[in-house]
Amino acid sequence: MQNTLDELRTTTETLMDEQQQLRSENCEMRRQLELNEIEIDKLKQETLRKTLEISNVPVTEGEDLFGIVAQICQKGSASHLTGPRSRKFLHLSKSNLAVRRKETKCLGRRERKRNSRRQS
């Protein structure tokens, strides 16, 4: 009987030590997580501070949007394009210039008449 109690006591002490160690590790990981979240927030803010976004750029048939944006970048000290070269969105590095193209809707004959009457 005494032998069984000693084994239980030893097992309980071992489990308590392991539990304390796990709690300590958990506390350290939570502290590190908070520090990482603060660092991520700082980095996001730093990135956003250098961003210039131009939106609702009208779409013109045959226009070289990339050439126009490159001219803007040269004046704004950005040197090259990054990201996908899609027709709807451009992203430029260094000065972090983002350009979004305005979607134009093809108007039917009735809508064009209505619009021309309103403008008259």
Q: What's this model's pTM, rounded to 2 decimal places?
A: 0.42
Cβ atoms of 97 and 54 within 8 Å: the answer is yes
Token pair for 112 = 């064009």
In DSSP terms, 99 is beta-bridged to 54, 90
pLDDT digits (tens, 9 = 90+) for 31-66: 999 999 999 988 888 777 766 666 666 767 777 777
Look at residue 5 and give its three-state secondary structure: helix
Percent of the chain with pLDDT over 90: 29
Specify the DSSP class assigned to residue 88.
S
Report how far apart, in Å, the C-alpha atoms of 22 and of each of 19, 29, 36 are.
5, 10, 21
pLDDT digits (tens, 9 = 90+) for 95-111: 455 555 444 444 445 55
| pLDDT confidence bin for 28, thresholds 50/70/90 | very high
